[in-house]
Amino acid sequence: MPLRFDLINSIIDLGTHFSPGETVDPSTSPALREAGVALVTTYIEQLSLLELVGEPAPLFGARGGMWIGYELTEKGRKLSGSETELRYAVASLIGGPQGEVSEAVVSLRQECTNARLDEAYRENFLKTLDEIRICFDAECYIAVMALCGTILEACLKEILLRHEVQFEDNWMIGRLIREINERIKEIYIDPALLNVSNIINQSRIHVSHIHENIPVPSRDQAIMVIYAVRDVVRRSLNWQ
């Protein structure tokens, strides 16, 4: 059975309340006490293998009972501030694809692995597809939008490069689509892709304005964007 992220998060979060070098006492967390010594010990051992916690050792808990104490590593402390990054770091513990949509992303990644991608961005491109799957399964839809935007921009710019059409690095998705439509007549771009780009850009723009409420995309919007991006990636591979 995949490990529960809520308890993983509780172990990491509790560690931030202890000073570096100080042994963390799991018994001081209500959530970890409720989970029980055996289960928490299993999680600590798993996180130790990922080097998120270290120095596991028996201790008598301040709230009673024998527990396994630990120290939060520097890596663990860095990840504590970002749920998305923490989920990505422990993805091997909480399981693989959890549904049809994330399976589709995994399948797309495999197609891209076997395709002729530019070595200049190949590694980052494949890693971004991994992150899209993980963030979707974790219901981090704002992150999904940002990551899909990165993939979409890379594909559109690659199309322009192949056809020797100049562009500016700061052009956003809408401008890239319009340039392709105007300059490369043999390439078909689905008109609905502009609507997809608007959804992506809305999330991106609000994230950059810290005093505004961020509109959280719905699951349905995330699914629509993922499949639209998949279509562009596949077409891009066929246009090589």
pLDDT digits over 85-128, tens only? 787 788 767 666 567 888 899 889 888 888 887 788 888 898 89
- CATH 1.20.120 domain range(s) in the chain: 97-238
Residue 66 bridge partners (DSSP): 60
Global pTM value: 0.62
For residue 145, what are its two tokens?
């939008």
Q: What topology is assigned to 97-238 in CATH?
A: Four Helix Bundle (Hemerythrin (Met), subunit A) (1.20.120)
- CATH 1.10.10 domain range(s) in the chain: 5-93
What CATH number matches the domain at 5-93, 1.25.40, 1.10.3470, 3.30.1560, 1.10.10? 1.10.10
| Most confident residue range from 38-52, 129-143, 181-195 | 38-52
- For residue 204, count other CB atoms closer than 10 A to its CB: 16
Q: What does the pLDDT read at residue 236? A: 81
Average pLDDT over residues 211-221: 72
Write the DSSP string, 146-215.
HHHHHHHHHHHHHHHHHTT----TT--HHHHHHHHHHH-TTS---TTHHHHHHHHHHHHHHHT-TTSPP-
Average pLDDT over residues 74-90: 85
Q: What does the pLDDT read at residue 162? A: 86
CA atoms of 26 and 152, how far apart (whole Å):
44
